[in-house]
Amino acid sequence: MVYLIDRRPNDRGKSAVNRERFLRRYKTHIQEAVKKMVGDRRLADMEGGGEVRVPKKDMSEPSFTFGRGGDREFVLPGNREYVAGDRIPRPEGGGGGGDGNDGGEGDSQDEFVFSLSREEFMQIFFDDLELPRLARTEFGRTHRHKSIRAGFAKTGVPANLAVIRTMTQALARRIALGGGLARETLGLQEAFATATAVGDAGQAATLYAELDRVERRRDRIPFLDDPDLRYRNRVWRPEPIARAVMFCLMDVSASMDEEKKDLAKRFFALLYLFLTRKYEEVELVFIRHTDDAEECDEDTFFHDQRSGGTVVCSALELADKIRSERYASGWNVYAAQASDGDAFGADPARSARFLRERLLPAARYYTYLELVSPHASERASALWAEYERLAEVGGTFAMKRASARDQIYPVFRELFRKEAQ
């Protein structure tokens, strides 16, 4: 007797839960690896998965087994030249030819390497990060429809049949329809009993026929009838979706060299990935500026070269204009500005004031990333000094500095760290 079962259509991710457990356990190792990856990667690969290495000794499962040392004998196959009593020098690194029991342990790899999927990668990437003041999310006018349960209906497809509810209905109907007949039966039975007791055969026969008729009527009440059927009902309910717009402001003046631009791009890429995880809909506005600002598309923003002086305020004004024209209401506004802070004259002060008066009140969060060259002195730029006063007020403004690739991710994490509850 044999049962043949085709299991191929079954779920394949049986080990997914165990895999996830494993990842959680070695989180610190993995986070370390992810941090490294952000620095090493090309921008385009930022979203992909990646390889993680964990030292084997950190994840061993201990048990009582034998260590080295002591006396033992072991049997090996394939003897060619040895005779009893021969001496063989101990192989280096112990075990050597090894006996059967140690066979599996001779793994030379001392690191456990595995790859993360994109989803896992992102999960770890943005773990513990939060968009500030997300609770006050503005909901847009557009809606997404969501199916929710809404009681029971009398019509529906068989798959949605609510069996218990249907049977309850059927029971109620049977009781309602059959109650009178049941009482009638009882009365007739009693009368019949009296009639037979007194020996009135004619009366008994009539009663019997009547009883028979009533019982047949009772039997005719269907066990389950069409009106009993109840179906689980679902309705579509519109749900507002959270939308965000992200303004990317980058200084592309001559003082921003390739290195700094690369840092800025990395920062924007992270911010974008992060926003897409938090909002259903994210729109991007790229603004680059030298002495005047212009809106451009993503490709131009990241790849096109341009140079000139620096007027930060122009970019802020443009951003505010676009915001009030296109994203006046129903949008959560985020803005990130990257610059080397090389602004002159009245520009820094004007920018700061503009920011305080116009942009900040409308934005959820405004981050300023100042890119400094690694060898630069610690002296703060003019823009930094002005902005610092904004930051002191606190609220929706945050600023950080970065000078190397590997700082971008930590800086990003700091800007968006989940506030301790």
Partner 1 sequence: MSPISHGADWDFDLIERYDTAIAQVAGEYGLDTYPNQIEIITSEQMLDAYAASGLPVGYPHWSYGKEFIRNEQAYKRGMQGLAYEIVINSNPCIAYLMEENTMTTQALVIAHACYGHNSFFKGNHLFRQWTAADGIIDYLVFARRYVMECEERHGAEAVEEVIDAAHALMLHGVDRYRRPAALTLKAEAARLAEREAHRERQFNDLWRTVPVNAAKTETTAAKPFPREPQENILYFIEKFSPKLEPWERELVRIVRKLAQYFYPQAQTKVMNEGWATFWHYTILNRLHEKGLVDDGFMLEFLKSHTNVVFQPAFDSNMYNGLNPYALGFAMFTDLRRICEQPTAEDRAWFPDIAGSDWRVTLDFAMRNFKDESFIAQYLSPKLIREFHLFAIADHRTESTLKVDSIHDDHGYRRVRKLLAQQHAQEIRVPDVQIVRYDRDGDRSLTLRHVQRRGRPLNDAAAAVVTHLRRLWGFPVRLETWEDDAQLHNVAELAA
By C-beta, is 15 or 307 nearer to partner 1? 15
By C-beta, is 14 or 303 nearer to partner 1? 14
User: C-beta of 77: minimal distance to partner 1 in Å?
Assistant: 5
For residue 179, give every residue at least 6 positions away whose Cβ sits within 8 Å of its Cβ, in sequence order, or none: none
User: C-beta of 37: minimal distance to partner 1 in Å?
Assistant: 18
For residue 191, give every residue at least 6 positions away whose Cβ sits within 8 Å of its Cβ, in sequence order, or none: 207
User: C-beta of 22: minimal distance to partner 1 in Å?
Assistant: 3
For residue 65, give every residue at least 6 positions away whose Cβ sits within 8 Å of its Cβ, in sequence order, or none: none
User: C-beta of 108: minimal distance to partner 1 in Å?
Assistant: 12
User: C-beta of 345: minimal distance to partner 1 in Å?
Assistant: 58
Can you tell me which residue has the tokens 């009135």? 200
CA 251, 280, 240, 144 dihedral sign is positive
By C-beta, is 83 or 159 nearer to partner 1? 83
By C-beta, is 20 or 127 nearer to partner 1? 20
d(C-alpha 253, C-alpha 191), whole Å: 110
d(C-alpha 21, C-alpha 398), whole Å: 35
Q: Which residues bind partner 1 (CB under 8 A)?
A: 1-8, 10, 12, 14-15, 17-25, 59-80, 82-90, 97-104, 112-115
By C-beta, is 79 or 377 nearer to partner 1? 79
Can you tell me which residue has the tokens 């690896």? 33
CA atoms within 13 A on the CB side of 60: 9
Cα 243 from chain centroid (whole Å): 17
- Pairing mode of beta strands 231-251, 111-116: unpaired
By C-beta, is 65 or 377 nearer to partner 1? 65
User: C-beta of 102: minimal distance to partner 1 in Å?
Assistant: 8
